[in-house]
Chains A and B, each alone.
Chain A
């Protein structure tokens, strides 16, 4: 098992080797001073569930590392009233926060330590990195990269598989499509108002049209303000539901969870002055839809799919 994990880490790490250590490390680090008694170190490890800690001098300067193995040695040969400096490993191997993941792998290949302190340019301890940190970070990354790639293939084949219903939506059989190829905020709303007009012609219920228009406006605003790319709005009208897909090929959303929070925005000031960037875009899309999903990947774009159920009158 341990070997499998090692292999997996090694294999996958190559994909992400240009990631910086600081993106992966655990912070803030749990640290102890040289003067701390071993009995307290033992308690900290037990309570925090960790097996080692950097040892620091005043100013968070790295002076050593103390691990569970050291505690065992104290147990065999020493006293729990001894202080850390007597048992720690001085001048431990450390990583710098701006070093790449690849560097960690090279270091780790030779040394195979469980954990490495991470320091900044001033040699201050700012984090700790373990193999587990890398593994969990990678799984998180892999999760949405995989999803995205699958979508992309479908999209290239003019088909899009719904993330909500799982059906294949044919982009050639789409009922409405509109290209967002403008980057001026003044143009925001062109797609949404066009779609509204189309839905009116199709005699869709007023309250559904209103919800679709608002959600589409918000998604369109996001494409124009945030994506730095072009986008498309598609709409399919089915017997019992209406589906809208707004896609772009731009920057992607860095932290979806944060973006979903009301009030969170990354809009620049000149756009905020115009009343955009209230941090309500995604929450509004959710509010004005029956179902909504977002698929996003850094550098590859965002796809927002919203679904409305047509109820019998």
Chain B
């Protein structure tokens, strides 16, 4: 599944973009960083409530290509900066984590 299509279908706002033409094959949900590192697969999308800049390093080491935060949350400025540096997509949704994950699962699997 192309990340581009996910962004379009889920109506996500792009806060920070990485390279074009990214293929997503999996997803993960979690706020405990170690848990995410334990369970997330490479080439994943990650739904989380964490917005601080460490999520970028976590995404980078695991191979997560895009991070989605649910409605009402915003990434901090330095998170966006770090994301640019590492080419990780930062996305915001207007829906709940539950709704986002449901739609995402339908798209990817």
Give the shortest distance, in Å, between A306 (CB) and chain B (any CB).
14
Given contacts A189-B61, A210-B62, contact A284 B54 (CB under 8 A): no
Q: How many residues of B contact A (CB 8 A)?
A: 23
Asked if B73 is an interface residue, CB under 8 A from chain A, the answer is: no
Give the interface residue-count category, chain A. 20 to 34
Q: How far is the CA of A218 from the CA of B32 in the complex (A)?
A: 12
**Cβ of A188: which chain B residues have Cβ within 8 Å of it?**
54, 57
Residues of B contacting A: mostly: helix
State A277–B94 Cα separation when bound (angstroms). 29
Most central of B33, B34, B37, B56 by chain A CB within 10 Å: B34
Cβ–Cβ contact A274 & B50, under 8 A: yes
Interface: B60 (CB within 8 A) = yes
Instruction: Given A193-B61, A217-B58, check contact A278 B78 (CB 8 Å).
Output: no
Is A275 in contact with B86, judged by CB distance below 8 angstroms? no
Whether B61 lies near A196 (C-beta < 8 A) is yes
Contacts of B52 in A (CB 8 A): 186, 274
- Nearest chain B residue, comparing its CB with the CB of A189: B57
Question: Given the complex of chains A and B, what is the CA–CA distance between A133 and B12 in angstroms?
Answer: 63
Report the bound CA distance from A221 to B57 in whole Å: 11
Residues of chain B with a CB closer than 8 A to A189's CB: 54, 56-58, 60-61
Residues of chain B within 8 A of A190, CB atoms compared: 57
- Tell yes or no: A192 within 8 A of B by CB: yes
Q: Say whether chain A's binding surface is mostly helix, strand, loop, or mixed.
A: helix
Counting chain A CB atoms within 10 Å of each CB, the highest count among B32, B56, B62 belongs to B32
Are B60 and A275 in touch, CB under 8 angstroms?
no
Residues of B within 8 A of A210 (CB): 42, 61-63
Contact with B along A267-290 (1 / 0, CB 8 A): 000000011101111001001100
Residues of B within 8 A of A218 (CB): 34, 37
Set of chain B residues within 8 Å of A276, measured between Cβ atoms: 33-34, 54
Taking A188-B54, A189-B61, A190-B57 as known contacts, 4 extra A-B pairs with beta carbons closer than 8 A to each other, sorted by chain A number, are A188-B57, A189-B57, A210-B61, A275-B32
Closest CB pairs A-B (n = 7): A189-B57, A280-B34, A213-B61, A278-B32, A275-B33, A278-B34, A275-B50
Show 19 A/B contacts (Cβ-Cβ < 8 Å), sorted by A.
A185-B54, A186-B52, A189-B56, A189-B60, A192-B60, A193-B57, A193-B61, A206-B42, A213-B62, A214-B62, A217-B61, A274-B33, A275-B33, A275-B54, A275-B55, A276-B34, A276-B54, A280-B37, A288-B37
